[in-house]
Amino acid sequence: MARAGVMRPDQIDAFFATLQAANPNPRTELVYTSVFELLVAVLLSAQATDVSVNKATRRLFLVANTPQAMLSLGQQGLEQQIRSIGLYRSKARHLIHTCQLLLQRHAGQVPRLRAELQELPGVGRKTANVVLNCAFGEPTMAVDTHIFRLGNRTGMARGKTPLEVERKLLRRIPAQYLGDAHHWLILHGRYVCQARKPRCSQCLVQAHCAYPEKLTIPA
């Protein structure tokens, strides 16, 4: 394993080539069938697991999977549908307002411009990046806790803020991997390079990583 430091370009290339070979078509674990459903699922996923979001949206999308249908539920009706998710009241409020803006400004469609996405309540840079990448195929990097950890731990993109890590990842990851890199990193951080105890012995890319197995780096 490489010494702790910054990953070299050849290591980064090998890192993603290995992940690509193991999982050629990575996808988000959120379940959706439209861009609007994806936006709703991502908004609900803040401080919640994908599993819990999928359980809630499985019920919700049966009765409301368009902005108008969600508005027809009303905030209280929406709260009842998503009450199993943390912060459900504030999320319901944001979703109702988002649906209003989608109808008023975008004819009920989810916009594909970052600035317009980030004008929607509850949509920050990370959420916008997820929608741009998953729905519209843009080579963006939604830096969540997993990707922030991996960027710093592996030496691929060290930074003190999510934006700093995002910019370094976009600059350092080879272009041929950028479309799927967001998914590979999230899945790797979720199931292998975990916060408290990374599973280095089970890691397919440990030979290309600048994280020494003998050290324990706080999450």
Return the half-sphere exposure (C-beta side, CA atoms, 13 A cut-off) of residue 112.
8
Query: Does an H or E element contain 103, and which?
Result: helix 88-106
d(CA 123, CA 104): 17
Nearest CA to 157 out of 2, 16, 28, 5 is that of 5
Greatest pairwise CA separation for the chain in angstroms: 57
Which listed residue (10, 50, 91, 144) is catalytic? 144
Nearest CA to 17 out of 204, 217, 213, 214 is that of 204
Indicate if 168 belongs to the active site: no
Which listed residue (91, 126, 168, 214) is catalytic? 126
Indicate if 126 belongs to the active site: yes
- Residues annotated as part of the active site: 126, 144
